[in-house]
Amino acid sequence: MKTHKDTNPARPQKASVPTPDSPTDSRTSNRRRVNKGTANTGTANTPQTDEMSRLQKVLAGAGVASRRQIEKMVEQGRIKINGQVVTEQGRLITSRDRVEIDGKKVELRANPHIYIMLHKPIRVLSTVKDEHGRKNVRDLLPKEMGRVYPVGRLDYETSGLLLLTNDGDLTLKLTHPRYGVPKTYRIRLNKALNKEDLLTLRRGVPLEDGMTRPAKVVVSPVSNTTSSPEHWAEMTLSEGRNRQVRRMFEHFGYEVLALERTSYASLNMQNLVSGAYRRLTPREIAELKQLTMDN
């Protein structure tokens, strides 16, 4: 059985320098589409001593924002280098330059954090410790990656997009109700969803821990590809209570036969197959940070 000493997902972890994913790792089978590490791991975008690099490349590599967003900030006169407002795009800088955005000094080192998108299969725990020795999401990642923690959780029987990171600050924000981060689920039900229940699901359902926030719910066309018809719906929630989707449908007497999270915040799984993972791109990381910015 695997045990991990520190299981607190919200605790910012000491930056462990991750090793780029090894395509030969025994746990990264051919079946999976495992992408190689992206720029947020190394120092490729960091100006080394006197080496010159473009401002937007350095800031994107440090996980501050996407290149496009940096260009916009330059247009808006929000960036200063050594006390002078930057007025031209593509400005070259070195590690000795002092960069400020909106008056705040920016750390130019590459982002030491790791951000992973995993397609969690069913019957894998999203917690990282289990008394019964069941498989957990860390078992799907190479050991050399270092410790990453799930952002929120998915039930044992739920599959889909799970974000893992050692960025405790971002984890806290993404899971805080104040930011209302949207999460979309595909749900297979045991029977057709009736109109009245659909409208109540959208407005709010009285659960034992309070009324749910308004949700987007769409009924998918009945699928008859198997011998019996399949009833599917799609739901987007802006909160993340325990077993919320299941409880909302169970409230009306529906049985949830399958549940999969297809998107989280600005991320979606696209063609990441079950059990596969990939690192987020600098742009995706910047988008998540943008979503949880206070202003």
Nearer Cβ to ligand URA (165/244): 244
**Terminal-residue alpha carbon distance, the chain:** 45
Q: Could you tell me the smallest distance in angstroms from the CB atom of residue 51 to ligand URA? A: 46
Residues 11-42 as b or e (16 or more Cβ within 10 Å = b): eebeeeebeebeeeeeebeeebebeebbbbbe
Our finding on whether 246 is near ligand URA (CB under 6 A) is yes
Inter-residue contact 65 to 29 (CB < 8 Å): no
Nearer Cβ to ligand URA (147/153): 153
Our finding on whether 244 is near ligand URA (CB under 6 A) is yes
155 is catalytic: yes
Our finding on whether 250 is near ligand URA (CB under 6 A) is no
Two structure tokens written together for 35: 């992408």
Task: Candidates 80, 202, 243, 283: give the one binding ligand URA (CB under 6 A).
Answer: 243
> What is the torsion angle, in degrees rounded to the nearest 10, for the CA atoms of residue 199, residue 200, residue 201 and residue 204?
130
Q: Annotate 164-222 with three-state secondary structure.
A: EECCHHHHHHHCCHHHCCCEEEEEEECCCCCHHHHHHHHHCCEECCEECCCCEEEECCC
Q: Could you tell me the smallest distance in angstroms from the CB atom of residue 217 to ligand URA? A: 13
Q: Is residue 43 helix, strand or coil?
A: coil
Considering the candidates 25, 97, 130, 155, report the single residue annotated as catalytic: 155
Q: How many residues bind ligand URA (CB under 6 A)?
A: 8
Our finding on whether 136 is near ligand URA (CB under 6 A) is no
Our finding on whether 118 is near ligand URA (CB under 6 A) is no
Map residues 147-186 to x or -, x wherever contact with ligand URA holds by CB under 6 A.
-------xx--x----------------------------
Residues that bind ligand URA (CB under 6 A): 154-155, 158, 243-246, 259
